Structure formats: structure tokens, C-alpha cells
Structure 1
Amino acid sequence: MSRARSAEPEVVPVYIDTSKANIARVYDAFLNGKDNYEVDREVLRRVQQVTPEAAQLAWDNRNFLIRATRFIASQTGVTQYLDCGSGLPTAENTHQVAQRISPDSRVVYIDNDPIVIAHGRALLEENELTHFVSADIFEPEQILGNEGVRQHLDFDEPIALFQLGTLHHYAGKRDPAELMSVYIDALPSGSYVALSHFFDPENEEHSPLARRMEDAFLHSSMGTGLFRTRPQIEAMFGGLEFVEPGLTRCADWWPDGPQLKPLDPVSHCIVGGVARKP
């Protein structure tokens, strides 16, 4: 899945640290993007040694984002989005999907990677309903108290909170379910949470693959990428009411048509769900 590269040396802005892989740039490499460096592509190659179809993880996550956004925009009446860990801009971003269906939708992206912020702000210069805020998504108290977030989102009205492909890169001291509870407690009634996460199915067929991929991520220069179990991931929803079909493989969450081809093995190792706060 890796791409051919020019023999010319890469030009790296002075503020970019390329000694360690970066989550946003690694996902960009998985999606065949152009905003990544050799250290990021090495993570992709390392995981591909375990499973050549590793990039499907990123595509399943991206497609889940598109379908979840489309559902919220078309079915719930929610017009505010807090997208945590937005990543590098690509086709069909949250604001593009939501605003195509509901033009008055407001989207606030959160990320603290300098490349993401630079690209995002340039992309959104002429979009007055979409904004980027530079902050750490794993510090929910800071996010919820951020002036930019509060300026553009009304916490008296329902909000869609996205944590898509983010929490499996959290390995801090706090329990991720406790971290999510801070976000969920701040959301008003009628809000929605969409979350996707690397998954250990705990079965003989796919659990060994999940653990091998986890080992490849953790021993790469990125150093994160945990494949958690269903109870661990469900706990991150904090007792919210799941939208059918609940927490399921990302590829199975309201697909656009019948699944005619067998799923790649890696597609069994990433799950997602959307839930409502009563």
C-alpha cells in the first residue's frame, strides 16, 4: 500500500519533528495521502508486515465517519459537531458531509498537530461555520473550557461529539472511560457520541491478528495503538443509548449497500458506534 516517492529529499518545515511518527501523518500514509514523512510510512510498513491489508483499518474508520455524520445530519436535527482529533484534511471531512445535508451545521475540529492546524485553517479560510482549535483531545477539561470551542458551539443545545480513531492512541494514566465521561457529562440532552476504536474480538480467528497489529504499532516510533475489548470500548460510551446496530464492526455500521465481498481480516479489528444522551 506504500507509494512511490521522488528521489529528491523531503523538505521539512522547521517546526515539524520527524524523529517520531505522528498519528495524523501516519493515518495520512494509510490513506495514501501526501502529508507524511518516512518515519510515518515506516509505521505503515511495519503493520503491513503483519497484514498486507493494514490500510483497510484507516479506510473503515474514514467510511464510518462519513456514514455517522450523514446519519446525524439527516436524522437527528443536531447541527453542532465537536470533532476531536480531526487529522489531516482529506475528501469527505465532517464539515463537508454535514453542511452538504444541513448547510447551517457548525463544526469545531480539535487537534494539536502543527501540520493539521496549518492545513485545516487554510482549507477553512472561507468557511465561517467551521473552525480549528489547537488543543489536546485527551485533556477534556481544557477542551470544554476552551474559549474557541465555547465561542462557536452552544452547550445549551445538542452537540455531536466525535472520537473517531483517537482513543486507541491514548495510553495515559486516566481510564479512557473516565476521560470520555468528562466529555459526556458536559453534553446537553439530545447530544450524540460517535466513537471508533481498534478492537480485539477475543476469538481464535481474529484476536491473534489484533494482538500482532497492536505489537507492531506499540513497537513502532509512534508507540501507540491499543486493541481493546468490547467491554472496554462500550464503557467509553458511559451508559448512553446506542443507535442500532450498537457497537459493531465499522464496516457493518449502516453500510451503503450489501457486502458482496468478504471482509478483510483487519475489518474485524476496528469497531464503531453512535449513541444518544437521553
Structure 2
Amino acid sequence: MGEDSPPSGVDVTVPNVARMYDYYLGEKDNYAADREAAEKVIAVLPGSPVAARANRAFLMRAVRYLATEAGITQFLDLGAGLPTRSNVHQVALAANSDARVVYVDWDSMVCAHSRALIRDPGNVGVIEADLRRPDTVLRHETTRELLDFSRPVAVILVSILHFVDGADDPWAIVAEYRDATAAGSHLVVSHLTGDLVEKARPEQTERAREIYRRTASPVHLRTHQEIEDLFKGDDLVDPGLVWLTDRRPDEPDPDGSDVVRLTAPPERTVEEAPGYGGRIPVYAGVGRKP
């Protein structure tokens, strides 16, 4: 992405969490303000790039599980963020050429970039919408054109709900999407937690949260119980809601990176602070609607 030619209407002077995440992943669709903010987070929480890559690997493994073992052919990816080297539609279509994917994001730049990279327009759609408005997303013509809600749909909320304020009631938001789906539908969630970081590194965690407060999307850390409550009405798929690196860790990643094992981590490693035990402070789970 050229530094001298941002898309129309995009303010590149304000850090954007999607572009910060892109930077953590080692990608190039970010600007100076995003890199500066991301590096400030990395300075206090050095494991952030590894966490982002492990989170992405979890997403890819979850999609492959859904498309193969669970037989899901429809995917609604909410808060999808910027495309990267492996994406939901690529994994889903590799498993089943009839798969359908709808990406949803509220960032116009993210949506424009996603549309430019899609190579399967008949199977994949991109919606610019706020996931906090389920009715808007579910009634959108692209959603209705591509997804049949009388059949199972996978609703994906990976690394996004910690940007939803409690006042917006993320539990009610998730429930509304669940209520719109058929039996056999699945919910995929990963969510930052304070269960480790607030105890092990409270000062560093607060500094990182302050950096995110300067973006359009402050971070809201939640407990295991609060995150598990997002799955009310679903049956959690084994092994349940667990640490990110414990979610089917022996299953190889679809892109071959195997990053979740952290045996050969990228340039930075998960911080070895007391209480971390090498873990990434993210819970991950997959639920199935009975």
C-alpha cells in the first residue's frame, strides 16, 4: 500500500486496529501511524506479533475443520480485517468448491482492499457494515444472495469482540446472529483476556490499552466466563473454550506455517513474564448450535 496514495476518505494519521494487526502479521497494508502504534504495543507486550500469527493460524484451522469434518459450506466472517496470505474463502474453497463466504467490516479501506483481491466473485462477497448491527448485516442483499440461512452457517468472530464495548452488549449481538442461523450452525470466537496479562503484567497491559484507546477501537479484556457466555445456546466443540495454543494444537496449519506451536516462532517470542507460562492471553473456541 503506497504511503503517498491512501484511499479516498481514509485518515492514515490515526492508527487503525486492522492495519496494526496486519503489521503484527508481517504484512504491508499499513501506514506509519499504524506501525508506530503497533511498535509501542510490542515494546510493552513483546509477544503481540506471535499472538496475531497464532490467532490467524487458529482461524485457518477452524475453517478447515468446519469445511471438512463439520460439512459447513457457508461462512459469515464478521470484522474480517485486511486480507493476508491465507484467508477464509481460500481455505473453505480448497475443501469444497461450492463454499460461500461473506466478509463484513466497517472499514471502507478494508472492504475495498478485500474486493480487489477476491478471485472467486461468484462465491465470495464483501459488505461494508457494522457487525454491531446484526439486522443490517443479515438483511444485506449480498448476504441474502450468497448465504441460505435455512442451512447451517459458520459465524466467525475472531479477534474482534474485544473491540466491542460492554455497553453495546456483545452477548446480545452474538445471540442475534445465532438466532438467525439454522441448527447445525457454528460459532468461531477468539478473544483477548485479562486472566493472564492483568495479573502478570498489569502496568504493561494498561499502557497497551492506553495505546488502543487512541485508535477508533479501544480494547476490552474479558474473563473466561464472560467469553464462554458468548456461546450460550451452543454446544462447545471439544476441547471447549481454551487457551489459543491449546485449541487442537497438534493439527497442522492449512498454510504449513505451524505457527501455533511456537516451536520456531517469528522474530519475536511470547513474553516469559511470571504467570504467562509461555501462553498467549487469548481464549478460543468453536460452538455448534443444536
TM, length-normalised to structure 1 = 0.89
Mapped partners of 2:130, 2:197: distance in 1: 34
The more displaced of 77-86 and 40-49 is 40-49
Distance (Å, rounded) in 1 between the aligned partners of 2:118 and 2:3: 30
State the AA in 1 paired with 2:102.
V
What displacement does 1:202 show? 5.2
Q: Cα offset for 1:15?
A: 1.7
Letter in 2 for 1:112: W
1:226 aligned counterpart, secondary structure: coil
Stretch moving more, 256-265 or 215-224 = 256-265
Say whether the 8 Å CA contact 1:247–1:274 is kept in structure 2. Answer: yes
| Aligned residues of 2:44 and 2:204 also touching (Cα < 8 A) | no
The separation in 1 between residues aligned to 2:24 and 2:198, in whole angstroms, is 26
Distance 1:229 1:172 in 2: 13
Pairing 1:192–2:186 present = yes
CA deviations over 1:4-40 (Å, ceiling 9, x no partner) = xxxx963323321123222221111111211111121
1:83 aligns with 2:89: no
Q: Does 1:20 align with 2:11?
A: no
Kept in 2: contact 1:161–1:194 (CA 8 A)? yes
CA distance in 2, matches of 1:205, 1:172: 21
Q: Does 1:136 align with 2:118?
A: no
How many Å separate the matches in 2 of 1:131 and 1:83? 10
2:175 to 174, 181, 195: 181
Which residue in 1 is equivalent to 2:288?
A: 276
Pair 1:204–1:33, CA change in 2 (3 A): closer
For residues 195 and 209 of structure 1, do their structure 2 counterparts lie closer, same or farther at Cα, with a shift above 3 Å needed? farther
Report deviation, 1:204. Answer: 8.0
Question: Which ranges in structure 2 are unaligned for 5 or more consecutive residues?
Answer: 253-259
Counterparts of 1:37 and 1:230 in 2: how far apart (Å)? Answer: 34
Unaligned 5+ segments in structure 1 are 1-7
Letter of the structure 1 residue corresponding to residue 246 of structure 2: D
Alignment of 1:185-264 (within 5 A): 185-201=179-195, 206=200, 208=202, 211-212=205-206, 214-255=208-249, 256=251, 259=261, 261=263, 264=270
Matched-pair identity in %: 37
**Cα distance, 1:177–1:71 mapped onto 2, change above 3 Å:** same
Quote the residue 1:5 is aligned against. Answer: none
Matching residue within 23, 31, 34 for 2:25? 31
Report the Cα distance in structure 1 between the residues aligned to 2:223 and 2:120, rounded to whole angstroms: 42
Question: Which one of 63, 75, 84 corresponds to residue 57 of structure 2?
Answer: 63
Does the Cα contact within 8 Å between 2:234 and 2:288 map onto a contact in 1? yes
CA-CA distance at 1:58 after TM superposition: 1.1
Post-superposition CA distance 1:32-77 (Å, at most 9, x none):
2111111211221121121222212211210110110011011111
- Kept in 2, the 8 Å contact 1:155–1:188? The answer is yes
SS in 2 for 1:55: helix
Match of 2:257 in 1: none
Structure 1 Cα separation of the partners of residues 42 and 262 of structure 2:
24
Cα distance per residue 1:243-267 (max 9 Å; x no partner): 0111111121112369574982474
